[in-house]
Amino acid sequence: GGTPDGGLGTSPELVAEAAHAVDQGAGVAVLVDLGSAVLTVKALLAEGDELPPGSRLVDAPLVEGAVAAVVAASAGADVDAVARAAEEAYDYRKV
């Protein structure tokens, strides 16, 4: 995240670059933290060719969702299952 010069904000170029770097042909489940990141990813998806095909914005808690997504992806899950795992993190309770 952040801007190319290391400042606060969200760089569409850096988001797209990161998504392409991790894509293995199935698309990328994109998790975000705050409003500007949500808007950036929605704009990239609307462009149609900025993110890898099959990519999607996932509505999930960032930390718990990211952990669940990584576990699912490392076990060989497809992008739909990775997204579901991240979304299900809303149900995790700590107490």
5 assigned to some structural domain: no
Tens digit of pLDDT at every position of the chain (95 positions): 577 888 888 999 999 999 999 999 999 999 999 889 999 999 999 999 999 999 999 999 999 999 999 999 999 999 999 999 999 999 998 89
Q: What is the pTM of this model?
A: 0.87
CA 89 to chain centre: 14
Query: What is the tally of structural domains in the chain?
Result: 1
2 assigned to some structural domain: no
Q: Are 66 and 31 spatial neighbours (Cβ–Cβ below 8 Å)?
A: yes
Segment (H or E) for 56? strand 56-57
4 assigned to some structural domain: no
User: Domain limits at 47?
Assistant: 12-91
CATH number of the domain residue 70 falls in: 3.40.50.510
